[in-house]
């Protein structure tokens, strides 16, 4: 899993690439504050090497909570900037600071 941030000097956005290695998975998505936790809006494309990946433009100077949804199971990103407890889910969410 990895997060890649590309800051755009001329725009108030950051291009964030989310990727997760899930060779045996059929589907993966990234869900979070930035897409109302909607898996269809956060669908990741599967590459030939088994990694799921997508890049999204996120408003910079913000903090987002997110998780990966892999075949219906929520997974945190070990490379997240931090983690935050979520009472609703009863678990921690990954945190992205841009």
Q: How does pLDDT run across 67-97, given as a tens digit for each residue?
A: 999 999 999 999 999 999 998 878 999 999 9
Q: How does pLDDT run across 21-53, given as a tens digit for each residue?
A: 999 999 999 999 999 999 999 999 999 999 999
Q: Count up the domains in the chain and report the number.
A: 1
CATH of the domain at 66: 2.60.40.10
Cβ–Cβ under 8 Å, residues 58 and 14: yes
User: For 4, what's the count of Cα atoms within 13 Å in the CB-facing half-sphere?
Assistant: 9
Give this prediction's pTM: 0.92
Residues of the domain holding 91? 2-97
In order of 12, 49, 75, 81, the CA distances from 72 in angstroms are: 33, 21, 10, 24
């Amino acid at each position: 899993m990895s997060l890649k941030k590309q800051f755009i000097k001329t725009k108030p956005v950051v291009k964030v690439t989310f990727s997760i290695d899930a060779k045996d998975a059929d589907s993966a998505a990234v869900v979070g504050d930035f897409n109302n936790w909607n898996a269809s809006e956060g669908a990741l494309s599967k590459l030939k090497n088994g990694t799921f990946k997508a890049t999204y433009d996120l408003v910079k100077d913000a903090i987002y909570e997110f998780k990966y949804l892999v075949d219906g199971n929520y997974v945190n990103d070990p490379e997240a900037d931090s983690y935050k407890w979520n009472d609703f889910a009863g678990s921690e969410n990954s945190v992205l600071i841009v």
